[in-house]
A and B are shown apart, each in its own frame.
Chain A
């Protein structure tokens, strides 16, 4: 029991601890980073059992309502659950875009029938979702999207192209923004979901600078979509998309709390280990490279300031209603800290941080290089740093565009 627990929370803590002890397989301890990967399907029996248990309990999405399979926990209970999980090296086996983005959006905008239909797959982690927002001509200016959706009476017909669809090659379903009115920009967009196995859907993986192919070009040719798969009103998709992007930024910044992986989940001790291995220390134990030392210190202080801001925001939001415009600064700060940390690591490793594959480099070093490269995307996706800053300047500070 933690010193600050109320009697009710203390009881919940005991319950959670017991349930975790019974259900979390020891063989999975501390393996979150390896196992919870959008693109990797593992069939280790222990992992599958853990996923089934968490799915049935609803604790992969602890604060979602019980009626749709969620845990029905309060924020405090969810925090206690997360603390207890961290203690024993447990992690949520249920994640991905369904949990991070689509689920919370559907809870707000979906019809009862849609929630009954789609929530179980998200809560149990059995349906993988991908996000079909960006197009070649519509990136930062997402509302200029052109994928056509025509009303054919008993179904919709979708034609067009999406790009940068993360996990598109592995996904079961897609949530997609489509144009249902070509005469208006924001007011001509609708939010549609459909099966990636529908005839007319084609994906082509794109290779990233890190060597991975985590995303795709996605083509739609005369894809027929049942009409009950429109979420929200026709031509009302833009507000839903904006809400979904808030959830996305929140989880990217780590501001969502819980067990999800945010870009700002840095392991500070790692940098210290790297100092010992690659840089060395002087007689007084200081980092041998004085210039690097100052930058490492500044980085740690920034990371601490960010962590404090996350907890302050969480405390303030306790009574409130989910993410606010402040998630924009969170995403930018979290992304910058993650990138700075990768650059500092690269600098410390020196020549050992230049390997691509093969002899002469260990797996950690090679992984750091790929991670540094892949991490360049965090200031681009989910609304780029520049777009977040525009949102802060315009919506929060009331600064107007150049007239």
Chain B
């Protein structure tokens, strides 16, 4: 565990208490079974925002607490433990970061205070294909006299049904595969030509396909310079990756602890499962992976806070490790519970489903191993 300030310790402890109290796994189950439209419970998110969580990375001037990414990571780790569905990652982390990194003063004034208060939900609309590959952005942004016209479709937009505004990666020049020529636009969800379709995902969280059909936007919608949107998008994505890795660390930790608790109570052959060395060594392996993952996650978040120049490689390291660790532990959780772990009534399946959804988001382990390798000249 990183050395935390007193305020950070208080933040983490209060997040832990709140999650236990207000958002146990049962809350996700209820959300799933109710078929709620947004993929999260707006009343719960309002409570989270009221505690200041949606403004943790937002500057004080825009209504946030400027408490930093490591601090937000502490909260995400706790919400990850019980699979809390909320726009913390999509809006309070992803969209807020993009605006902070490249937004104009007017854009920041218009949206950051509302994001920080939880009154608005903003989200990044990046993906177009089945796998995360932001450079392959193809959604067309054609120049018009007064701005741009957007044509194309974004898939898997997190919290896309709830969002008030999208930050859309579009291609204004060049071709898919190139960083140059990507531009970022701020597009209100109620803009003419925008239609959304809800996706029902296995982790019960909210996502949507967003179609842009001749959507007209002015120059003032650009985030960052035209054709240079990737300079804003890439660091914003790295912030999301590091934050999501923190959430996944929490998910993996809880899956691990639940499994260890079970090994201590389930008796077969007259002894607890935990007394079998075949399982003990695998438990020790999971514990080891969790420790390594924590170091990577905390290093990535701290690097963002201090602004060092290794954020990209640390974000990839953190996301790759979090993916591998959660993949391992979510599988072991089911296997070590035996038949019970296969039932819908047990939580193991919920952790397994959430694990794969989080693994696929913002780059799977192979994507980040490759990126880490390239950054290191391999």
Contacts and interface: CB of A to CB of B under 8 A. Distances in A.
B50 interface: no
Interface in A96-143: 134, 137, 139-141
B343 to A, nearest CB: 6
A208 B201 contact: no
B200 A357 contact: yes
A386 to B, nearest CB: 5
A61 to B, nearest CB: 29
Contact of A385 (B131, B156, B334, B335): B335
A132 to B, nearest CB: 14
Interface in B119-145: 127, 129-132
Interface in B269-294: 269-270, 276-279
Residue from the set A144, A351, A389, A402 with the largest chain B CB neighbour count within 10 Å: A351
Contacts of A352: 130
A266 interface: no
A164 B343 CA distance: 10
Interface stretch (B181-189, B239-247, B257-265, B348-356): B348-356
Contacts of B277: 402
Contacts of A360: 155, 197, 199, 209
B375 interface: no
A357 B270 CA distance: 43
Nearest to A206: B343
A358 B131 contact: no
B345 interface: yes
Interface string A340-382: 0000001101111111111111000000010001001101110
Given A207-B345, A359-B197, A376 B130 contact: no
Nearest to A278: B130
A279 interface: yes
Contacts of A163: 339
A361 B276 CA distance: 42
Given A278-B131, A360-B155, A369-B202, A353 B356 contact: yes
Interface stretch (B8-16, B55-63, B362-370): B362-370
A290 B371 CA distance: 12
A206 B343 CA distance: 7
A390 interface: yes
B279 A386 contact: yes
Interface string A131-169: 000100101110010000000000000000001100000
Contacts of B267: 137
A355 B366 contact: no
B342 interface: yes
Nearest to B358: A354
Given A163-B339, A355-B201, A385-B335, A141 B360 contact: no
Contact of A358 (B199, B338, B341, B345): B199
A208 B267 CA distance: 23
Interface residues of A, number: 47
B190 interface: no
Given A289-B366, A353-B360, A209 B349 contact: yes
Contacts of A384: 335, 338
B343 A207 contact: yes
Nearest to B268: A141
Contacts, number: 123
B210 to A, nearest CB: 12
B225 interface: no
A282 interface: no
Given A278-B131, A359-B199, A134 B349 contact: no
Given A291-B366, A351-B130, A134 B339 contact: yes
Interface string B172-205: 0000000000000000000000000111111110
A140 B130 CA distance: 40
Contact of A208 (B131, B269, B331, B342): B342
Interface in A17-39: none
B357 interface: yes
By CB atoms of chain B within 10 A, which of A211, A360, A390 has the most? Answer: A360
A354 B202 contact: yes
Given A207-B343, A350-B364, A291 B370 contact: yes
A377 B199 CA distance: 27
B248 to A, nearest CB: 15
Max chain A CB contacts within 10 Å: which of B201, B202, B269, B338?
B202
Given A206-B343, A208-B343, A351 B197 contact: no
B203 A354 contact: yes
A376 B334 contact: yes
Contact of A354 (B201, B331, B338, B348): B201
A36 B350 CA distance: 30
Contact of B342 (A140, A369, A376): A376
A292 interface: yes
Name, among A350, A357, A386, the residue most crowded by chain B CB atoms within 10 Å (CB to CB).
A350
Contacts of A289: 366-367, 370
Given A139-B268, A291-B366, A359-B197, A354 B357 contact: yes
A140 B364 contact: no
Contacts of B366: 289, 291-292, 347
Given A354-B356, A373-B349, A380-B339, A209 B127 contact: no
Interface in A275-298: 278-279, 289-292
Interface string A197-232: 000000000111101000000000000000000000
Contacts of A356: 200-202, 204
Instruction: Kindly list the 9 A-B residue pairs having the minimum CB-CB distance in the complex, ordered from nearest.
Output: A209-B349, A350-B131, A291-B366, A350-B130, A141-B268, A207-B344, A352-B130, A358-B200, A351-B156
28 contacts: A134-B339, A139-B338, A140-B269, A141-B270, A144-B268, A144-B270, A163-B339, A164-B339, A207-B343, A209-B342, A209-B348, A209-B353, A278-B130, A279-B131, A291-B370, A347-B364, A350-B360, A351-B127, A351-B132, A351-B360, A354-B201, A355-B200, A355-B202, A356-B200, A356-B204, A379-B335, A380-B334, A380-B339
